[in-house]
Chain A
Amino acid sequence: MIKKTIQKIFFIYLVIITNASALIEIDITEGNREPLPIAVTNFFYAEDAIKDIDQISIDVSKVISADLERSGLFKSIDQEAFIQKTASMHIRPRHEDWRLINAQALVTGELEVDNDKLRVEFRLWDTFAEKEIEALVLITTIDNWRRISHMIADKIYERLTGEEGYFDTRILYVSENGPKNNRIKKLAIMDQDSFNHRYLTSGKELVLTPRFNPVKQEITYLSYFKNLPRVYLLDIQTGIQEVVGDFPGMTFAPRFSPDGEKIIMSLARDGNSDIYVMDIKSRVVERLTDSPAIDTSPSYSPDGKKITFNSDRGGSQQIYVMDNKGRNQTRISRGTGNYATPVWSPRGDLIAFTKNFQGRYFIGVMRTDGTGERLLTENWYQEAPSWSSNGRVLIFYRETKADDTGKGHSSSLWSIDLTGFNERKIETPEDASDPSWSRLIQ
């Protein structure tokens, strides 16, 4: 299904006019700044195009606005306030009209239908410099308008922040329902804005900790199929799943290497958990740690040269770093409390983690040598951060405390900026945990 969708897309990037001079810019390293006011207009279209073109026009603009607003860096101006409303704005906006309603940036667009293809042209304007600063034409099938909208939002984000966007991405997670002592868990996947939701497993088997392959339409996760907890691979185009390797015990906590060719995971044997890596094609297995402690939650650096992991070898759970052959195992977490689930940033400069201190749970980041620890959010229970493709946002899950009978418990996905601001709940049809955020869709 996904493969079909991808095949249906024809990217045609035509940069119409792009002025090189840097004009409006957002510094996203600075937290808590005022969001940039942006006017996203409904895209124009020829009246006789197709039946639903009026709705697509409105929806494209809505998806773009919602993406930009969710980043916390933009404020979308209410369309009711717009002064200029004619199609001419796409060619020649009256910048003074847009400045008057305080729009610093303006998005205009045009939709055209040719047979079953939708041609979407958009332009981004700096209303103060009175210049077009970005323009793009995308051609796709009509039912693919949602992805096109995310790609446009990515382009706007990129042009105004100088960083790659992260809107044309998906979230893989575990959907949960039922009482705590008999929870039904299913793998689910959806767009980053919660649309196009679907389940990947039926709920018959307990499934945990799914993770995206960074380069393929493939995931790895833990399944209790036949009551044997093992790491599995699932091709999400074909639906074919297979157990990973032939190990004499529970395999768990899987993650792909950055090239998508290997799976790194823990193997529990006779009460001891160590870290192993398996090459998917050759099935060659390498043992990376050999300590009597719990070694788990491994995560590769983006260059594949290093691995961060969780171990209690020093008496409490801490974060360690080693090279990809298991050499030079060094503790990096230094604060008081327990540290877990280290995840290397796709930019390479930071490691996100879960911290437990005095019975409270924190999501934080530290440099890869353990310095510069920063706690972003604190709560009764939360864990399992996963990075956005540009390394600017973290997604994680949070649970609420139950009363003595188990009532009041819930589990949901949240995101927060690296700055510690812009914390948001991510909508899911049921309770949710164990999120994994994809790279930009190829």
Chain B
Amino acid sequence: MQLTIQYYRNFITIIAATFILAACATTPPETSSSGSSASSSSSTVSLVQDGVYVGDETIEMLAVDVPDRVFFAYDSYTLTSAAQSTLSKQAKWLKANPSVTISVEGHADERGTREYNLALGDRRANAAKDYLMSQGISSNRVTTISYGKERPVKSGSNDTAWAQNRRSVTVRTN
């Protein structure tokens, strides 16, 4: 028993050392936009900045110039300024189309326990919903649903795929 403890202590020390020395890129959260996130992307420019996806590969349009989704940093539900800008466009579109009702889906990446990620997806969906409400959209037009890590848009196990999966997606329900 004592041996086991000792073994893992050593093991953790070794892992820690590896990370310090090699600055290995697999550990979320990404703390800087430099290099690391691009390791698995085909592009030479990182599409993940401060842990948030900044590309447009998976984005679909609700209407012209109204993107359907926003992205989040690892274990975060804070709306970036880009996310706020997207949600403002959605709000404007919803105001122009008062009969439209929507569902906001919250999603997480695969790095985290299933139950925690369900709660995290709920946080993200509600962060987006709250922003829409702050822009004057009535709460009875907006439902939310969390899929946790159950419905990734990208199947890869890499920083870019994970960043694309950390999202809230606005879907028309009528």
Residues of A within 8 A of B (CB): 29-32, 179-183, 206, 208-209, 222, 227-229, 249-250, 252-253, 266, 268, 270-273, 294, 296-297, 310, 312, 317, 340-341, 354, 356-360, 362, 374-376, 378, 381, 383-384, 399, 401-406, 409, 419-420, 433-434
Contact = CB atoms under 8 A, between A and B. Distances in A.
Contact of A250 (B1, B8, B112, B146): B146
A294 B120 CA distance: 8
Given A266-B119, A268-B119, A31 B157 contact: no
B126 A270 contact: yes
B132 interface: no
The 9 closest A-B pairs by CB, nearest first: A406-B155, A271-B126, A359-B27, A180-B155, A273-B119, A268-B122, A294-B119, A340-B113, A253-B115
B151 A181 contact: yes
B167 interface: no
A409 B154 CA distance: 13
A255 B110 CA distance: 23
Contacts of A362: 8
A107 B12 CA distance: 44
Contacts of A381: 110-111
Interface string B115-129: 110111011011100
B1 to A, nearest CB: 6
A403 B156 contact: yes
B122 A358 contact: no
B1 A341 contact: no
A359 B4 contact: no
B40 A383 contact: no
Contacts, number: 135
B113 A341 contact: yes
Contact of A208 (B5, B8, B119, B150): B150
A31 B156 CA distance: 38
A331 B152 CA distance: 32
A61 to B, nearest CB: 34
Contact of A402 (B113, B151, B156): B156
Interface in B1-58: 1, 3-5, 8, 11-12, 15-16, 19, 24, 26-28, 40
Interface of B: 1, 3-5, 8, 11-12, 15-16, 19, 24, 26-28, 40, 77, 110-116, 118-120, 122-123, 125-127, 130, 145-146, 148, 150-158, 161
Given A273-B122, A383-B113, 15 more contacts: A31-B3, A181-B155, A208-B118, A208-B150, A227-B145, A250-B146, A252-B119, A268-B122, A310-B116, A340-B112, A340-B115, A357-B12, A358-B27, A378-B11, A406-B154
A111 to B, nearest CB: 42
B12 A402 contact: no
A159 B156 CA distance: 49
A383 B156 contact: no
B115 A341 contact: yes
B112 A356 contact: yes
B5 A294 contact: no
A434 B148 CA distance: 14
B113 A384 contact: yes
A341 B11 CA distance: 23
Contacts of A180: 110, 152, 155
A404 B4 contact: no
Contacts of A272: 123
B40 A404 contact: yes
Contacts of B28: 359
11 contacts: A31-B4, A179-B155, A222-B118, A229-B146, A271-B123, A296-B115, A310-B116, A356-B112, A375-B8, A406-B156, A419-B1
A358 B116 CA distance: 18
B155 A405 contact: yes
A39 to B, nearest CB: 30
Contacts of B146: 229, 250, 268
Contacts of A29: 1
Contacts of B11: 378
Given A183-B150, A268-B146, A273-B119, A404 B161 contact: yes
A181 B153 contact: yes
A409 B155 CA distance: 9
